[in-house]
Amino acid sequence: MKLKLKISLNGKKIVTEAGVSIADLLPKSPHKEKHPAIAALFNNRLVGLYHDLRTSGEIRTIDLASREGAEVYRRTASLIFFAALKEVDPKAKVEVGQSIGNGYFMGVTSSIALDKLLEPVETKMLEIVKKNLALRPIWIPIEDAISYFEKEGRFDRVRLLKQMRRSEAQVVDIAKYRGYVYGPVAQRTSIIDRFRLHRLHHGLVLEFPDTDGKFLGSVPNMPGLFDTYVETRKWNELIGVENIAQLNEHCIKGQTSDLIKVAEALHEKKIAAIADEIYRNRNIKLILIAGPSSSGKTTFTKRLAIQLRVNGIEPVLISIDNYYLDRKNTPKREDGTLDFETIDSIDITLFNKHVRALLAGKEVETPVYSFPRGQRDPTRKLKMKLAPNQVLITEGLHGLNERLSFEIPRKTKFKIYVSALTQLCIDDHNRILTSDSRLIRRLVRDRLFRGSLAAETLMMWPSVRAGENIHIFPFQEEADVMFNSTLVYEPALLKSYAERFLMEVPHEHPAFVEALRLFRFLDLLIPIMPQEVPHTSILREFVGGSAFRY
């Protein structure tokens, strides 16, 4: 007699035999949203609909509208792209790259001109979708996986498989393509019925639908951001670390000391070049630095200040925080909560008045904002006056938004966008999410220095990202220069800290799904200890031991 399981599927109680898949049960309690179900949360773990049930528990199906569902959609669409490309040009090489708008950039090397490659690949993708192929990852012996990928010339994958201490590897077959997967995929190809391909530079962009199933319509024109990605890619090539396997090899061979030194030197060289550019432009009197959460803006600002002093320029900090409106005048969100992230929570008029006066050589008294009181301190003022060799420097959420400094002539301003734009990949066909570098940084810092548990940080992260999409990312191309604050070795450095803190997230907590995803990614890495990390490194802002005061 087969074991009976008690299942709650989308709120409906069902008794079933062990071994049945979620897809088999779904007709008894269908997914009732506008998008089709693409995966499920089973006992707070992300699984495919093909998952065979072996224990009782709670199941909630998810779709494209959720973060987890969108992740499954993108993973499956990428696999379909790789399968289509292999059929059109079996010898083509492709490397998954950065996010561009709502898609992934795919660097393609092919004997077929890219302009002539796009249409047949897209047509083949549509054929694979229409065939409604069943997808189900399978576990095969690790030796068989290594042998297969060696024959395919996928040595990026072979190196990582050899580093894994596992007896089996999880792969999925689509048409003539076999891919290695790091998470669930859609059960059938027909679910991935919306995507677009665009030509861009030396590759293609695979665009995905948003949570409403809509497209942007075209690839956003972001030359500054794209050039920064390309620059970072060149840095990685120079260092010899373009994927996790290569990073692990440095650890295994005892080469991490040199790796850290070269990576940090590239950062310092870039910061010095930015300082030199400011020095050459004698009109610049106001430096505005902005970027998303956990980008290392504070440490970057302090290191830039040092390089400016080397050039005889004395930076003077003017804090935007002191120009917040009193709490009673702070704008509110639709739900009635105070919105401290909007630019309208800042006294822009007073900020511009004081900056104009300072640039004219006058003395001003800036306010001092008391965050505990939620208002300016009436008993305190900061007197400021610029000397001839001094420039104003400020760091904040809205630095790139022209509204913040609308009365200051553009030629006297220099805008810097700082972000952690990772270009390190798991392998050629599997990328690391760009925002994961910042999320792991913040998770570690908040747990070490701000008393916030990992679960709290993970739960708050979606709202942080939503605010960045409104207040930062739309203005990033306004920057005069972009600085990528990631360091190629940082995932291995943060691994030991992050794994320890992720273990604190309870299984039943809503953040456990995300915690488990990050934990599985970090499991691929060999850890690096912090002893050799310079005390001026941006990473010291997150793990401690910095030479700077914050």
Q: Three-class SS of residue 149?
A: helix
Per the listing, tokens 């800290």 go with 497
Reading the block at residue 516, the tokens are 């488990």
320 part of a folded domain: no
Same domain, 281 and 250: yes
In the 3-class helix/strand/coil scheme, how is 483-515 assigned residue by residue?
Answer: EECCCCCHHHHHHHHHHHHHCCCCCCCCCHHHH
Residue 338 counted as domain residue: no
Average pLDDT over residues 257-272: 97
110 CB-contact burial (10 Å; exposed 0-12 / middle 13-18 / buried 19+): middle
Radius of gyration of the chain (CA): 25
Q: How many domains in the chain?
A: 3
The mean predicted confidence, pLDDT, of the chain is 96
What pLDDT sits at residue 219?
86
Assigned domain for 489 exists? yes
392 closest CA partner among 340, 339, 354 = 354
Instruction: Give the span between the Cα atoms of 39 and 280, in whole angstroms.
Output: 55
**Could you tell me if residue 254 is left (phi over 0), alpha (psi between -120 and 50 degrees) or otherwise beta?**
left
For residue 324, the SS3 value is strand
- Choosing from 207, 240, 271, the residue where a domain stops is 207
Task: Specify the amino acid at residue 65.
Answer: A
- Per-residue confidence (pLDDT) for residue 1, from 0 to 100: 62
pLDDT tens digits, residue range 209-236? 999 999 987 888 899 999 999 999 999 9
pLDDT digits (tens, 9 = 90+) for 143-194: 999 999 999 999 999 999 999 989 999 999 999 999 999 999 999 999 999 9
Residues 236 and 183 in one domain: no
**Could you tell me if 210 and 102 are in contact, meaning their C-beta atoms sit under 8 angstroms apart?**
yes
pLDDT band with cut points at 50, 70 and 90 for residue 67: very high
Residues 29 and 116 in one domain: no
Query: Mind listing the pLDDT tens digit for each residue in 367-424?
Result: 999 988 999 999 999 999 999 999 999 999 999 999 999 999 999 999 999 999 987 9
DSSP element (H, E) containing 377: strand 375-384
- Residue 217's pLDDT is 75
**247 and 163 together in one domain:** no
Residue 493 near residue 428, CB atoms below 8 Å:
no
DSSP assignment of 37-87, as one string?
Answer: P-EEEETTEEE-TTPBP-S-EEEEEE-TTSHHHHHHHHHHHHHHHHHHHHH
User: 161 and 289 in one domain?
Assistant: no
Please report whether residue 190 resides in a domain: yes
Would 386 be classed as within a structural domain?
Answer: no
**Which helix (H) or strand (E) element contains residue 151?**
helix 142-151
Rounded Cα gap, residues 158 and 527, in angstroms: 20
Position 218 scores a pLDDT of 81
Report whether 480 contacts 304 (CB < 8 A). no
Residues 535 and 461 in one domain: yes
At 164 the pLDDT is 92
C-alpha to C-alpha distance for 205 and 118, rounded to whole angstroms: 10
Do 42 and 140 fall into the same domain?
A: no
Q: In this structure, are 96 and 26 located in the same domain?
A: no
Give residue-wise pLDDT tens across range 88-126. 999 999 999 999 989 999 999 999 999 999 999 999 999
Cβ atoms of 229 and 423 closer than 8 Å: yes
Q: For residue 421, give every residue at least 6 positions away whose Cβ sits within 8 Å of its Cβ, in sequence order, or none.
A: 98, 225, 228, 229, 232, 434, 484, 486
Give the model confidence (pLDDT) of 451-502 as tens digits: 999 999 999 999 999 999 999 999 999 999 999 999 999 999 999 999 999 9
Look at residues 165, 181, 207 and tell me which one is the last residue of a structural domain.
207
Specify burial of residue 9 (Cβ count, 10 A radius: 0-12, 13-18, 19+).
buried
Say whether both 123 and 95 belong to one domain: yes
* CATH code where residue 9 lies: 3.10.20.30
CATH of the domain at 194: 3.30.980.10
Per residue in 10-62, pLDDT (tens digit) is 999 999 999 999 999 999 999 999 999 999 999 999 999 999 999 999 999 99
Of 183, 207, 231, which residue sits at a domain end? 207
Per the domain annotation, does 384 fall within a domain?
no
Helices (H) and strands (E) in the chain, counts: 15, 21
Nearest to 179 by CA among 136, 133, 117, 127: 136
Judgement on whether residues 24 and 152 belong to the same structural domain of the protein: no
The answer to whether residue 385 is domain-embedded is no
522 with 499, same domain?
A: yes
- CA 140 to chain CA centroid, nearest Å: 31
418 closest CA partner among 314, 536, 295, 331: 295
**pLDDT at site 239:** 94
Tokens of 234: 């060149």
Residue 308 lies in a domain: no
Same domain, 183 and 99: yes
The domain in which residue 499 lies consists of 223-295+413-543
Q: What is the pLDDT of residue 158?
A: 97
